């Protein structure tokens, strides 16, 4: 039998390590803080995975579609076609009610384009406010199979005090009438499966537990920064598997 050279063997091991990072079972980073939820996602090991559902990514304050380059790559590596991955862009300095209405139109266009009855939504930061308003106030839950909120400002953040000149930041501040509207009563309406990812190392969502939603599967990530999530292939892999469940 021909022996492999040390260089070739190292290459094989490196490739295996990358594959494990992207496709391995969910990291224990979020397991410790996963609270029991009334509407938790079914374990991927029990339900066959489905990657046919279109995914709509919703960026945060001052963000744009380029924020989701890594996420789209991870979703493709987990079986999605690029034609099923979409990024919604909105005005970070306008009004989140208008932004949510725009999301409703965007989702309807995606459904029409793909022929799907529902989409999945993955949001980051202020995108959580836009998404929650769409699902709860505008009745979007009937069009959304899964909602994954990454460091979402779902109950506001005091960090928004630095930009209160803008309506979106006023709406993002804890205790605003906007937040009261999306958090009163059922925070996870409809048959949509909800999950969140939050971390004490966030630094922007203050308090960091603001991301958690009652009735969702809330994943406490050991330590990740607010922007770091956007390139965290472990967390993004968990989200892909959640959406596929």
What per-residue confidence (pLDDT) applies to 192? 98
Tokens coding 141: 């839950």
Buried b (16+ CB within 10 A) or exposed e, 129-158: bbbbbbbbeeebbebbbbbbbbbbbbbbbe
Q: Would you state the pLDDT for residue 128?
A: 98
pLDDT of residue 50: 80
What pLDDT is attached to residue 144? 98
pLDDT, residue 49, reads 56
pLDDT tens, residue order, the chain (245 aa): 444 444 343 343 333 333 333 333 333 334 334 444 444 443 333 344 589 999 999 999 999 999 999 999 999 999 999 999 999 999 999 999 999 999 999 999 999 999 999 999 999 999 999 999 999 999 999 999 999 999 999 999 999 999 999 999 999 999 999 999 999 999 999 999 999 999 999 999 999 999 999 999 999 999 999 999 999 999 999 999 999 99
Question: In the prediction, which pLDDT does 32 show?
Answer: 38
H-helix segments, the chain: 6-23, 69-77, 96-114, 127-136, 167-172, 177-183, 233-244
Q: Which of 92, 125, 149, 210 is catalytic?
A: 125
Q: How confident is the model at residue 109, as a pLDDT?
A: 98
226 belongs to the catalytic site: yes
Q: In the 8-state DSSP scheme, what is residue 66?
A: G
Task: From the candidates 124, 146, 155, 226, give the one annotated as an active-site residue.
Answer: 226
**pTM confidence score:** 0.81
């Amino acid at each position: 039998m021909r022996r492999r050279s040390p260089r070739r063997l190292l290459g094989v091991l490196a490739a295996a390590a990358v594959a494990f990072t992207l496709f391995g079972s969910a990291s224990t980073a979020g397991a410790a803080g996963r609270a029991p939820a009334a509407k938790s996602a079914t374990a991927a090991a029990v339900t066959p995975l489905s990657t046919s559902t279109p995914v709509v990514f919703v960026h945060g304050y001052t963000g744009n579609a380029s924020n989701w380059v890594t996420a789209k790559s991870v979703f493709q590596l987990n079986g999605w076609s690029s034609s099923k991955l979409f990024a919604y862009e909105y005005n970070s300095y306008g009004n989140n009610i208008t932004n949510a209405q725009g999301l409703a139109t965007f989702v309807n266009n995606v459904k029409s384009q793909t022929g799907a009855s529902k989409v999945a939504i993955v949001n980051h930061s202020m995108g959580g406010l836009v998404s929650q308003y769409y699902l709860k106030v505008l009745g979007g839950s009937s069009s959304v199979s899964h909602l994954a909120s990454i460091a979402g400002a779902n109950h506001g953040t005091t960090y928004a005090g630095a930009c209160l000149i803008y309506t979106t930041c006023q709406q993002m501040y804890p205790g605003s009438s906007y937040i009261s509207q999306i958090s009163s009563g059922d925070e996870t309406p409809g048959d949509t499966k909800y999950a969140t990812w939050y971390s004490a190392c966030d630094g922007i969502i203050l308090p960091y537990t603001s991301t958690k939603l009652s009735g969702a599967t809330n994943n406490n990530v050991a330590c990740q920064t607010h922007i770091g999530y956007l390139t965290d292939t472990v967390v993004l892999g968990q989200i892909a598997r959640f959406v596929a469940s």
